[in-house]
Structures are given as structure tokens and as C-alpha cells.
Homo-oligomer: A and B are copies of this chain.
């Protein structure tokens, strides 16, 4: 498409105002999506625009219908993490595909510093997108409270921190997955089951740990000794596994709360001369296609269907945009255990 031209024979803003029976200023306010417009004026001007086939330029037209055809996908995470952890790549790919299927343009924004947040807020408030999918898992993150003030529908992945009232989200059953993983280790006869956790400022990490605790019935005072935060990174998983081997030398199984950390944990076990699964059985989380089948040995893991999660988020957002009824504001998707050789 090219920049629209305004030839003399086309209907003008003046024609729209006359047809709608409002002042030109009011018509302009409607076209500019000003909040100070009465519903009646909005309806009359919109009807006049449609009746006359008035074609404002692309940006202005977007304002009429409040539709840019674009959806922001916002990640509130340190950039290194987004690109070193293949889980994010998978999320982005799924979002790109699901939004393309809905003929929406994915507009990816990365937010890390307070300056990033202020900049993203300006962009999101600027009428450049119709809605947003947000990934803001960390405690203390200001994005959810900023997003509440935006004139945009938003759907979250997982539970953001802060009040959930009024929020739309699609989560996975992380606690159930933690139970599944740990009960599998128990069923194999393992007695000393430790856990490498994600950072406990994320609900997903806390929920997976809660699942491990439920299944092991670990007493509160044992949790600190039997678990270690691996920060959802490969290096962190290796470091946490090494620390647990030091602290709990007789451990015979570990539930690692992400596949990326599990790859690191396998490195630590190898370096410590522990055989997997003979000496130590290992279960990961994600069942990431780029990781779980390729570790040595291949990783038993809890599958969360990321593509499906993103698809549900897009569906929920599209319903919000079309003002269609939503079945549930908060959806929780199931997880399943995928058995390979590590446990």
C-alpha cells in the first residue's frame, strides 16, 4: 500500500461533520479517539464515516476504529535471559504464529530498565497497537501496574505479582507439574529427592517448588537444605546441583524446575562422577524440544504446552478486542510427564 492521497473529490472531514450533525471539532475529536466525546457523537460520526466512505490516512483511520491490526508482545525480563533461554524463543515463535493466524501484526517490545518501561509505556499509550500480551513474571516488576492504566486490553502469561482483580491471564498448572515430577521419582523408589528451583520471585518457580514439597512432604525446615535456586539459567542449574551434592551427598534424585537448568545439573552430576539415572534420577520441566531430547541421557521432563498457552492468550485477547464474552479470565492449562532415560 502507499500513503493515501487526498484528492478534492473525496469526502472531507467537513462532509463527515455535516452528515453527522456535529461540529468539525467534535468530528475531529471522534477521529482522534478523544475520551471527551459523548457516545452519541461517537456513533453519529462513525456512521457518517462509514456512510460517506471517508478515508482518513492510515494512522487516523486506526484511531476511528481503534484498530491498528497490531498486537504488542511485551517481555519484562533482562535481555540476556530472553536470548539465552530457548524457552523465550519458543514463546516468541508461538506468539508470531498465533497472531499471524489471526492476521495481526506482532510487535515485540523488550522491557528491562525503568527507562525501557517508560518508553514502552509511551509507545503502548500512543495508539500504535490494539492490545498486548505480557510476560512479566517477576516480583516488584512495575509493568503490571503501568499496564492497568493503559487504554488497552492485556492478557498475561502466568500470574503477575500484585492484585489479580480484573486481570486476564493464561497459566500452566506448575504445582501439578511439580507433583507429577516428584511422584514419578518416588515411584522409582528414590528416597532422597532434592530440587533445583527457579528464582523464587516468579510464581511459576514457587508453584513448582510447592509441587515438590507437596509430594515429598518435606518439613518446612528441610526445604532450605534440600532445594537450591538455579535462577532458570544453565550455569545456575550447574551451580545449584553442585551445591546440593555438597550439602546432601546421599541424594539419589533431583527435580529440576526447567530443562535449561537440568542441562546444567547434568553437567554437574557428570563432573561429580554420578551416573544418571543409576546414581541420581533427574526430571526437568518444560519438555523443551531443543533441549530435553538432546541431553545426555535424554531428559524425562514435565511438558507444558507453550504454543497452546500462547494460542489461548491470543484467543482471549481477540475476544476482548471484539468485545465477545470470555469463558474465564484466568485459564490454567494442564501439564504432563514425558518419560525419557534420565528418570
Contacts and interface: CB of A to CB of B under 8 A. Distances in A.
A5 interface: yes
Nearest to A60: B32
A58 B122 contact: yes
Interface stretch (A86-94, A185-193, A201-209, A329-337): A86-94
A96 interface: yes
Contact of A89 (B32, B83, B115): B83
Contacts of A105: 109, 119-120, 122-123
A127 interface: yes
A109 B28 CA distance: 31
Contacts of A166: none
Given A25-B13, A84-B290, A120-B105, A115 B100 contact: yes
Contact of A93 (B28, B58, B83, B120): B83
Nearest to A63: B59
Nearest to A59: B127
A121 B69 contact: no
Q: How many copies does the complex hold?
A: 2
Interface in A48-72: 56-60, 62-63, 68-70
B58 A149 contact: no
19 contacts: A1-B122, A1-B125, A3-B125, A5-B34, A28-B28, A32-B56, A32-B59, A32-B60, A57-B63, A57-B127, A59-B127, A80-B93, A82-B93, A84-B89, A103-B119, A105-B119, A106-B109, A107-B107, A107-B123
Interface of A: 1-3, 5-7, 12-14, 24-25, 28-29, 32-36, 56-60, 62-63, 68-70, 79-80, 82-84, 86, 89-90, 92-93, 96-97, 100, 103-110, 113, 115-116, 119-123, 125-128, 149, 151, 290
